[in-house]
A and B are shown apart, each in its own frame.
Chain A
Amino acid sequence: MSIDLPGFADPVAQAQSTFRAVLDAMARPGTLHDAGNTLTPPAPLAPATAAVLLTLVDHDTTLHIAPDCVAATAWLTFHCGTAPASSPASAFALARTLPDLATLNAGTDEAPESATTLVLQVAALGTGPEFTLSGPGLKSPAAFRAEGLPPDFAARWAENHALFPRGIDLILCAGTTLAAIPRSITVQEG
């Protein structure tokens, strides 16, 4: 049973350091940050993915777990104290392949903060196809590389960005590394 595997050994300090990594990643889109170094989460979760969920998800939030991640459901339910949501239009969504962003909750014009935060576990960050990010948080357009995003990611993200201030915020995790792309960011190929 994956539920036997431990969560944070020091929940206060590790949740804080993971949060700072996510906050910094969100404030400086595309930059890479370490998270979850000491975690041993159950398959298929990477340490960074597990750390982000342990830090942000609890019984006040809903978490949708995509079919390719259900093996970790018992562990997430136990350690986060959350019940899995049936709809991907929940506060948090966990997946290993980019879902159709239109199925997630993009929020409303009056309450754009109610939109889904998508935690997407990818094969690798810092290598793979190159994208150029620009927008708030970036002094000048910055290069970003990720392995495991769909080939039409830039086009699909453009539809999400066009909804601003509505839209999905993306936290990408691979191994013990994370990065984020908030809805305010423009993504171009190459």
Chain B
Amino acid sequence: MNGYNFAYLDEQTKRMIRRALLKAVAIPGHQVPFGSREMPLPYGWGTGGIQVTASVLGAGDTLKVIDQGADDTTNAVSIRRFFARTAGVATTTDTAEATIIQTRHRIPEKQLREDQIIVYQVPQPEPLSKLEPSRAETRRMHALAEYGSMHVRLYEDITRFGHVAISYDYPVMVNRRYLMAPSPIPAFDNPKMHMMPALQLFGAGREKRIYAIPPYTDVRSLDFDDHPFRTTRAPQCCALCGADDSYLDEVVTDDQGGRMFVCSDTDHCESRQAEGHTGTGEPITREAAE
């Protein structure tokens, strides 16, 4: 695209982000501050993820962008087009074809490979933010690995509800050292981060933080011996492809309580349908859903 550097960012900014990325990989789970730039889309739409992707992306890469698992939602489409225009890279919706996957709040159902990089868009990188508002204080807590307050928060959930009532952005311990916010992915996706063959990079634009998990790194969801971490999903099958193991979106179909459960990962769902898997294709009633 005329008038812009390759992948939009200037080289000086890329070098700054690249230095932050290398330190982030060297200290798994530690939030590295960086000079986040103003991007041509608002905070909260993936400015951190875009800056990380722009610094990593090369002409030979194939980019996939997902928003809540879907390739065809506004955020995913506009970011994919942004890089197709500013970097001229190939784009795809096929998880297996992509070399870089930028994601908002999901990890693809298909197991990622060693030659892939997944870039997460992160709204709030500080897992302790709701427990301790001071950034100076949370930095000290990370320095001392002082994470007792988060255990108390989980314990309070157990005393009140009988289980840990965090369904997304469920805090994890990385490499047994740093407490980390996995971005608002469903807790269902947390186990995929553990020993993932792909490199995981996280960018928070408004909060100006970058962090990373190298491949094959120990990532544990916080829990207690007598209340082990458990994933949850809607107890249904996908109405389109019949999958009984994927993460499902609930789609309201009328004002009588009818709804459909469909795969959140559109590429996973479509490739299953192409293989001949089918669901009922019908919405279910309120009684059946409950």
Interface positions of A (Cβ within 8 A of B): 11-13, 15-17, 19-20, 22-24, 26-28, 55-56, 58, 60-61, 91, 108-113, 115, 117, 136-139, 164-165, 169, 182-184
Taking a contact as CB atoms closer than 8 A, the residue among A58, A111, A169, A184 that contacts B15 in the complex is A58
A139 / chain B contacts, CB cutoff of 8 Å = 195, 197, 215-216
The complex places the Cα of A122 from the Cα of B55 at a distance, in Å, of 28
How many residues on chain B are close to A (CB under 8 Å)? 45
Q: Is B110 an interface residue (CB 8 A)?
A: no
Closest to B17 in A: A19
The complex places the Cα of A19 from the Cα of B11 at a distance, in Å, of 12
Known: A11-B11, A17-B58, A113-B32. A183 touches B22 (CB 8 A): no
A22 engages B22 (CB within 8 Å): yes
Chain B interface, >50% SS class: mixed
Known: A20-B56, A55-B15. A165 touches B215 (CB 8 A): no
B177 / chain A contacts, CB cutoff of 8 Å = 164-165
Supply 15 further A-B pairs (C-beta < 8 A) apart from A60-B15, A108-B143.
A12-B5, A15-B11, A15-B14, A16-B57, A19-B14, A23-B25, A23-B199, A28-B114, A28-B214, A56-B22, A58-B12, A111-B139, A182-B26, A182-B27, A184-B27
B12 / chain A contacts, CB cutoff of 8 Å = 58, 60
Interface positions of B (Cβ within 8 A of A): 5-6, 11-12, 14-16, 18-28, 30, 32-33, 55-59, 114, 139-140, 142-144, 175, 177-178, 195, 197, 199, 212-218
Known: A23-B22, A55-B15, A137-B216. A165 touches B27 (CB 8 A): yes
How many A-B contacts at CB < 8 Å in the complex?
113
Can you spell out 30 A-B residue pairs with CB atoms less than 8 angstroms apart?
A12-B6, A13-B59, A15-B15, A20-B56, A23-B22, A26-B22, A26-B25, A27-B25, A28-B215, A55-B15, A56-B15, A56-B22, A58-B12, A60-B12, A60-B15, A60-B16, A110-B142, A111-B139, A113-B23, A117-B22, A136-B175, A137-B217, A138-B216, A139-B216, A165-B177, A169-B26, A182-B25, A182-B26, A183-B27, A184-B26
The complex places the Cα of A58 from the Cα of B16 at a distance, in Å, of 9
Known: A56-B19, A110-B143. A183 touches B26 (CB 8 A): yes
